[in-house]
């Protein structure tokens, strides 16, 4: 209980504060009536002292000493009854109290101690009982904790109920979720921005919104195979998201119901804090990118392009794009933290596309396989595992950012076309396709390709063309090619013999192998 509460109680007795207003936040632990002036023997931290100054009514120096001792003991404050034995508080005492933020409250002479003491002690007991009650509250740790991020708050809630916790927007798209996640009749995907699997999810959300728009309803209890509370988060009176709090024990049901307002208030504040921090970082990174270009930093640089189909829906929704964009960029920042030797990193958007510029030491030598493995490992265990990533070659001149942006955008497009089953594309592997795509549309090139492989592509046995492709992919190893095609080794030998006859080419000749690989690549692109 704070001194400000005691002042509120005393206001019905015309109590007023005359010094140390800043000390109203001091905590009261006990209340004592001063009968003897030797306060150093009985006063302790948190004591609120009530006195008429009768023992020292004629000694202002002793009055000053009492207040000074109470301040030294870190007492909560002093209530003085004026008009009976003392008519005023000396200026020296008021000055001392102001300097020390020690609250001094005065009450009229006709106020009975017992009346004031009874009310203050009753409030102390009630607050003590509340603290005991809080400590037995399942959500006590959540209430007392200060969270650095919404992800941390969601994990704390999940640990308390030992179950899945997730937050969806008003369209049902997933914004946050706990690491502990189990599929249920409502949701089976943990991908960022994915929608529920329930066929009637839009109707259910509409119904929840109608019920929760009422000031009477603070949450909805949804029974089922997995019981849950749906708790709305509101901004300016409008629902912006729903917390899905799943539970399985009866005591959790009552605890959640009692703590709904606290839970949604704390989660809302944390989301807003996250969003404000994102805006701050976004402005700082924009300035950092401009500064890097101007300074021409002596670094090895890498540009990464990120693309997700689930992100595209927000690009036409100007009102909500930033909110959802910041969640995706948080995941990108988490990924960058996993990459070794990064000195500086700038995450930015351009034309609704997300990029990250990574700066490495001047002598950095990129291990492409290691970098791809790091990124792949992160994606596989994250909620953005469906993200496509295109990686530029290393470049020294930071002013080439726009040029590299065009390069990774092309690599992304080519990678999605020719290797849609893959997620990570690198320039060193796919850069050549930029040239192949251009020449693949040339009539002379198409004519050349047809002349070389039409004998196979137009043959009645279509397995011959597939056999040639797999044989070349396996670097001319007939046994491995047969295993991959699930055919007998003898069948493979017979097919290769037929292919040689139709093409009129030696499949062991390196020049012929190059020509055939070129033709098959061009055919695939067309």
DSSP assignment string, 224-275: SSS-EEEEEEEETTEEEEEEEEE--SHHHHHHHHHHHHHHHHHHHHHHHHHH
Instruction: Give the C-alpha separation, 333 to 122, whole Å.
Output: 52
Say yes or no: 9 and 95 in one domain.
yes
Nearest by Cα to 68 from 39, 30, 47, 106: 39
Range of the domain at 382: 296-432
Instruction: Give the C-alpha separation, 11 to 23, whole Å.
Output: 17
Helix (H, G, I), strand (E, B) or coil at 61: helix
Section 21-48 average pLDDT: 87
Name the more confident of 325 and 464: 464
Note the pLDDT tens digit of each residue in 42-93: 888 889 999 999 889 989 999 999 999 999 999 999 999 999 899 999 999 9
| Residue 388 forms part of a structural domain | yes
**pLDDT computed for residue 17 by the predictor:** 95
**pLDDT computed for residue 461 by the predictor:** 86
Section 87-111 average pLDDT: 93
The residue out of 135, 163, 178 marking a domain boundary is: 135
Say yes or no: 343 and 367 in one domain.
yes
Residue 459: count of CB within 10 angstroms of its CB: 15
Section 454-460 average pLDDT: 86
| Residue 291 forms part of a structural domain | no
pLDDT, averaged across the chain: 87
Residue 269 sits in a domain whose CATH number is 3.30.450.30
Distances (CA, A) of 378 to 221, 333, 386, 408, 474: 36, 12, 12, 20, 30
Give the torsion through C-alpha atoms of 176, 350, 332, 319, to 10 deg. Answer: -10
Question: Which residues lie closer than 8 Å to 56 by C-beta, 6 or more apart?
Answer: 37, 62, 63, 66
| Residue 127 forms part of a structural domain | yes
Say yes or no: 485 and 411 in one domain.
no
**pLDDT computed for residue 258 by the predictor:** 80
| Residue 110 forms part of a structural domain | yes
Name the more confident of 440 and 171: 171
Share of the chain above pLDDT 90, in %: 50
Question: Which residues lie closer than 8 Å to 127 by C-beta, 6 or more apart?
Answer: 1
Say yes or no: 9 and 131 in one domain.
yes
Stated pTM of the model: 0.62
Say yes or no: 149 and 251 in one domain.
yes
Name the more confident of 353 and 214: 353
The residue out of 365, 400, 432 marking a domain boundary is: 432
Say yes or no: 112 and 67 in one domain.
yes
Per the structure, how many domains does the chain have?
A: 4
Do 76 and 27 form a contact (C-beta atoms < 8 A)?
yes
**pLDDT computed for residue 321 by the predictor:** 37
Note the pLDDT tens digit of each residue in 298-346: 789 999 999 988 776 554 444 443 457 788 989 999 999 999 899 989 9
**pLDDT computed for residue 353 by the predictor:** 86
Q: Picking from 7-11, 313-317, 415-419, which range would have the lowest pLDDT averaged per residue?
A: 313-317
Section 212-234 average pLDDT: 79
Do 225 and 213 form a contact (C-beta atoms < 8 A)?
no
Instruction: Give the C-alpha separation, 410 to 434, whole Å.
Output: 7
**pLDDT computed for residue 237 by the predictor:** 76
Do 417 and 432 form a contact (C-beta atoms < 8 A)?
no
Say yes or no: 256 and 311 in one domain.
no
| Beta bridge partners of residue 229, listed in sequence order | 221, 245
Q: Residues of 118-144 as b/e, b for ≥16 C-beta within 10 angstroms?
A: eebeebbeeeeeeeeeeeebbbbebee
Residue 450 sits in a domain whose CATH number is 1.10.10.2840
**pLDDT computed for residue 74 by the predictor:** 92
| Residue 367 forms part of a structural domain | yes
**pLDDT computed for residue 136 by the predictor:** 66
**pLDDT computed for residue 72 by the predictor:** 92
Say yes or no: 366 and 467 in one domain.
no
Share of the chain above pLDDT 70, in %: 94
Say yes or no: 192 and 258 in one domain.
yes
| Residue 235 forms part of a structural domain | yes
| Residue 100 forms part of a structural domain | yes
**pLDDT computed for residue 312 by the predictor:** 65
Say yes or no: 208 and 336 in one domain.
no
**Most confident option among 318-327, 408-417, 483-492:** 483-492
Section 509-515 average pLDDT: 93
Say yes or no: 126 and 161 in one domain.
no
The residue out of 110, 135, 160 marking a domain boundary is: 135
Strands 104-107 and 77-81: parallel
Note the pLDDT tens digit of each residue in 151-167: 999 999 999 999 999 99
Concatenate the DSSP letters of all residues of 447-488 into one string. Answer: HHHHHHHHHHHTSS-THHHHHHHHHHHTTT-HHHHHHHHT--
Nearest by Cα to 100 from 80, 78, 124: 78
Q: Picking from 125-139, 256-270, 444-458, which range would have the lowest pLDDT averaged per residue?
A: 125-139
Query: Is the pLDDT at 131 greater than 70, yes or no?
Result: no
Question: Which residues lie closer than 8 Å to 210 by C-beta, 6 or more apart?
Answer: none
Residue 352 sits in a domain whose CATH number is 3.30.70.270
**pLDDT computed for residue 298 by the predictor:** 78
Do 106 and 13 form a contact (C-beta atoms < 8 A)?
no
Do 472 and 517 form a contact (C-beta atoms < 8 A)?
yes
Residue 83 sits in a domain whose CATH number is 3.40.1390.20
Say yes or no: 154 and 76 in one domain.
no
Contacts 24+ apart (CB under 8 A), 137-140: 137/255, 137/258, 137/259, 138/251, 138/252, 138/255, 138/259, 139/255, 139/256, 139/259, 139/262, 139/263
| Residue 280 forms part of a structural domain | no
Instruction: Give the C-alpha separation, 30 to 305, whole Å.
Output: 63
**pLDDT computed for residue 78 by the predictor:** 94
């Amino acid at each position: 209980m704070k001194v400000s509460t005691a002042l509120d109680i005393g206001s019905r007795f015309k109590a007023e504060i005359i010094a140390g207003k800043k000390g109203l936040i001091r905590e009261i632990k006990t209340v004592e009536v001063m009968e003897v002036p030797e306060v150093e023997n009985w006063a302790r931290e948190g004591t609120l002292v009530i006195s008429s100054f009768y023992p020292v009514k004629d000694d202002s120096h002793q009055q000053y000493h009492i207040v000074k001792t109470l301040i030294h003991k870190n007492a909560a404050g002093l209530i003085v009854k004026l008009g009976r034995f003392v008519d005023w508080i000396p200026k020296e005492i008021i000055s001392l109290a102001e300097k020390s933020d020690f609250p001094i409250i005065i009450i009229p002479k006709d106020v009975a101690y017992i009346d004031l003491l009874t009310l203050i002690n009753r409030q102390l007991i009630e607050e003590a009982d509340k603290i005991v009650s809080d400590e037995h509250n399942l959500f006590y740790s959540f209430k007392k904790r200060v969270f650095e991020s919404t992800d941390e708050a969601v994990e704390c809630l999940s640990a308390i109920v030992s179950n899945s916790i997730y937050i969806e927007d008003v369209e049902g798209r997933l914004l946050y979720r706990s690491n502990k996640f189990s599929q249920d009749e409502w949701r089976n995907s943990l991908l960022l921005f994915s929608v529920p699997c329930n066929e009637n999810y839009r109707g259910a959300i509409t119904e929840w919104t109608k019920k929760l728009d009422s000031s009477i309803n603070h949450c909805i209890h949804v029974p089922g195979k997995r019981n849950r509370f749906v708790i709305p988060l509101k901004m300016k009176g409008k629902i912006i998201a729903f917390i899905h709090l799943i539970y399985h024990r009866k005591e959790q049901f009552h605890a959640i119901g009692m703590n709904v307002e606290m839970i949604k208030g704390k989660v809302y504040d944390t989301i807003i804090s996250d969003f404000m921090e994102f805006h701050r970082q976004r402005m700082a990174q924009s300035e950092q990118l401009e500064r890097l270009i101007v300074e021409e930093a002596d670094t090895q640089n890498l540009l990464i392009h990120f693309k997700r189909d689930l992100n595209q829906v927000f690009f036409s929704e100007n009102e909500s794009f930033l909110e959802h964009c910041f969640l995706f960029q948080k995941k990108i920042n988490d990924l960058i933290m996993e990459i070794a030797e990064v000195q500086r990193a700038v995450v930015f958007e351009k034309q609704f596309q997300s990029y990250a510029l990574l700066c490495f030491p001047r002598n950095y030598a990129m291990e492409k396989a290691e970098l791809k493995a790091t990124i792949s490992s992160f994606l596989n265990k994250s909620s953005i595992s469906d993200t496509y990533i295109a990686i530029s070659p290393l470049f020294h001149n930071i002013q080439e950012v726009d040029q590299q942006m065009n390069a990774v955008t092309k690599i992304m497009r080519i990678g999605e076309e020719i290797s849609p089953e893959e997620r990570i594309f690198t320039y060193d592997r796919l850069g050549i396709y930029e040239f192949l795509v251009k020449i693949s549309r040339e009539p002379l090139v198409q004519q050349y390709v047809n002349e070389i492989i039409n004998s196979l592509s137009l043959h009645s046995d279509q397995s011959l063309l597939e056999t040639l492709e797999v044989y070349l992919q396996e670097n001319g190893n007939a046994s491995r090619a047969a295993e991959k095609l699930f055919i007998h080794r003898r069948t493979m030998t017979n097919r290769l013999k037929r292919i040689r006859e139709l093409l009129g080419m030696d499949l062991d000749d390196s020049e012929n192998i190059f020509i055939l690989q070129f033709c098959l690549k061009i055919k695939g692109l067309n």
